[in-house]
Chains A and B, each alone.
Chain A
Amino acid sequence: MTLMRLMFRNTVRRPVRLALTVGGLAMVVLAFGLLRLTLDEWHSGVKAAANNRLITVHAMSDSLLLPLSYRERMAVVPGVQVVHYGNVFGVEYRDAKESFGAFAEHMSTFFETYPEVILNEGDRLAFLKDRGGCLIGLKLAARFGWKVGDVIPLKGTTHPGNWDLVVRGIFRSSSPGIMGEGELYVHWEFANERLRATAPDRVDQVGWYVTTTAPGVNPRTVVAAIDATFANSFAETRTEREQAYIAGWVARSGALLDALDWLSGVMNGIAALVLVNALAMAVRERTREYGVMKTLGFQPRHLVALVLGESLLVALGGALAGLGLLYPAARLYAVMVAGGKTVGAYEITSETIGMCLGVMGLVGLLAALWPAVRLSRMTTLEGLRHRG
């Protein structure tokens, strides 16, 4: 008990130094946590992907379009249950900074294909009846203060012209990695109609098809069958399971993600150095006291336990303070950094908390290593003769 008390009081002995060290560690935990949130966000789509959804895009590039006529041919491929399609619907609100993810989707199959969309029945029916209406996610609605019935004046980028859309429903998502609540959806047919006047060369073309497979069907056979259907055509297709398709997107950002991973490691290194520095100073100042303790009969392991405990306490303090800051920061981050373009959940999971605590625990252990080695090698006489 006396040793525990001593460990605790040693930890809080220099309040200013402790506050600065804990503050420094908290900043590192905060930055580390935000990086993890970003990485988690990137991977969330992969985790949340549906097993029975297949994505079909142009074989040469995701940005090339496919003819609408493929829809009928896909529908007869054995194992295909529903064929859905959509396009990017590029718009901005008041200026380019106020843009967000928007999509033109074939609404007859949209809700069936994406059961992740949570919308009350009245709004759903109202939206299906109004071809000039739109659906917006809860976060997008909160971002601009939009509500059902509002007319949103938008400026088209991929779809030229001004678009005054009536909000017919605000949806929530059961899986933000797939269906983000920061997005807007319009009727594909409505967007396509307007293209006849503004960009006729892009009429009746779609950016992607999403097919769902019937229960009991092996999606791999359907993948192969769809691509075989359009083999040697002027627009060959590349079909993948949704998970593989999203994973491909993530992999294409691999260098960036690797850099973020490295950055996480560097941050933990910085945290360890901050703590090593503070601990080394503290141990140096108390060397004589440790010498006195050895004179009283304490063994090196007792002194190592004192230093290790102090290091872990400070690291834990930094982790808790950092996690405390991470919650409000994550909310702010989702709005400021994501900018609503692909607003994700940015939710702090138990995995992120565990990782922050675990990493700080490791930092605490590593930081104590050098001072502990020094103390265990120090003779009693060296300790007593130390002049701090």
Chain B
Amino acid sequence: MVDPVVSLQKVTKSYSRAGTDVSVLRDLSFDIPAGTFLAIMGPSGSGKSTLLNVMAGIDRPTSGSVVVAGTRLDGLSEGEMARWRARHIGYVFQTYNLIPVLTAAENVELPLALTHLTRRERSDHVRTALRLVGLGDRMAHYPRQLSGGQEQRVGVARAIVSDPTMILADEPTGNLDRESADDILTLLARLNRELGKTIVMVTHDPRAAERAQMIRYLEKGVLEMPP
């Protein structure tokens, strides 16, 4: 039995909106074994992104415990959480979220600014990550000079450059055409298969979810097995 890299116990999350409590996650308990490529599906508003944010330490559960990469997150301060995230989480956004004034290489290098690597080591890491996503020849290009698919590949390179424990991807193909989406999914599958990266991907696209090893459905804050 592989040790779980993520372990959620009785996690609930609710927001107060206009004086009314809205439950987003309801009593969720599940484990994700290391090396898994998990897709979480569900309709809009089902709590997929909230669940991902809770696992990334970006959002805090209302109750329950979240243990990721051996660390219980609910007791950490904002600063401790940021430090932990820098070490363990690579995050891929739906809208890429590259810094427009930095080149592809500089965007990928950004998380390495928090490490003690030398300039040369950082440069080596960046080159490796960009080659891995097939953009070794686009290092000096700015985001505005790249296509959507290429921007997302830079986003993936940024997520893996610091060799995090797991990669969390929030609708990584949501803004891409079919072909670019396939490229990104192939890339994520390769990272999982060849580098053993644990990947949790939130998507509402069944074709994207099919590329994962495991699919879970989130419906009104409750996690369900596939039908």
Contacts and interface: CB of A to CB of B under 8 A. Distances in A.
Nearest to A292: B97
B56 interface: yes
Contact of B85 (A5, A9, A297): A297
Given A292-B93, A297-B87, 12 more contacts: A2-B109, A2-B112, A3-B113, A9-B102, A288-B97, A296-B85, A296-B91, A296-B158, A297-B111, A299-B79, A299-B82, A300-B78
Contacts of A5: 102, 106
A298 B87 CA distance: 11
Interface in B58-90: 58-59, 78-79, 82-83, 85-87, 89
Interface stretch (A26-34, A171-179, A270-278, A378-386): A378-386
A380 B79 CA distance: 11
Interface in A5-19: 5-6, 9-10, 13
A95 B102 CA distance: 64
Interface string A111-152: 000000000000000000000000000000000000000000
A289 B158 CA distance: 14
Interface in A264-303: 288-289, 292-300
Contacts of A296: 85-86, 91, 110-111, 114, 158
A294 B89 CA distance: 12
Contacts of A13: 101
A96 interface: no
Contacts of A381: 53, 58-59
Nearest to B155: A292
A16 to B, nearest CB: 16
A2 B58 contact: no
A1 interface: yes
A6 B101 contact: yes
Given A2-B113, A3-B113, A381-B53, A295 B91 contact: yes
Contacts of A379: 78
Contact of A297 (B83, B93, B102, B119): B83
B146 interface: no
B25 to A, nearest CB: 14
Interface string A294-325: 11111110000000000000000000000000
Given A2-B110, A299-B79, A299-B82, A289 B99 contact: yes
A2 B106 contact: yes
A260 B119 CA distance: 52
B96 to A, nearest CB: 10
Nearest to A10: B101
A294 B82 contact: yes
Contacts of B99: 6, 289, 292
Given A288-B97, A297-B83, A6 B91 contact: no
A298 B53 contact: no
Contacts of A2: 102, 106, 109-110, 112-113
Interface of A: 1-3, 5-6, 9-10, 13, 288-289, 292-300, 379-381, 384
B68 to A, nearest CB: 14
A295 B99 CA distance: 13
B90 to A, nearest CB: 9
A317 B91 CA distance: 37
B16 to A, nearest CB: 15
A297 B86 contact: yes
A309 to B, nearest CB: 14
Nearest to B113: A2
A251 to B, nearest CB: 54
Contacts of B78: 300, 379-380
A298 B99 CA distance: 14
Contacts of B97: 288-289, 292
Contacts of A288: 97
Contacts of B110: 2, 6, 293, 296
Given A5-B102, A10-B101, A292-B99, A299 B83 contact: yes
Interface in B104-121: 106, 109-114, 119
Contacts of A297: 82-83, 85-87, 89, 111, 114
Nearest to B50: A381
A3 B107 CA distance: 11
Q: By CB atoms of chain B within 10 A, which of A5, A10, A13 has the most?
A: A5
A300 B81 CA distance: 12
11 contacts: A2-B113, A5-B106, A288-B97, A292-B93, A294-B82, A296-B158, A298-B82, A298-B114, A299-B83, A380-B58, A380-B82
B211 to A, nearest CB: 24
A156 to B, nearest CB: 69
Minimum-distance CB pairs A-B, first 10: A297-B86, A9-B101, A292-B97, A2-B113, A296-B111, A380-B58, A297-B85, A297-B82, A295-B91, A2-B109
A149 to B, nearest CB: 66
Nearest to B90: A296
B102 A384 contact: no
A297 B86 CA distance: 4
B197 to A, nearest CB: 17
A3 B109 CA distance: 10
A295 B119 CA distance: 23
A225 to B, nearest CB: 75
Contacts of B82: 294, 297-299, 380
Nearest to A296: B111
A292 B58 CA distance: 11
Contacts of B85: 295-297
Nearest to B106: A2
Contacts of A1: 113, 119
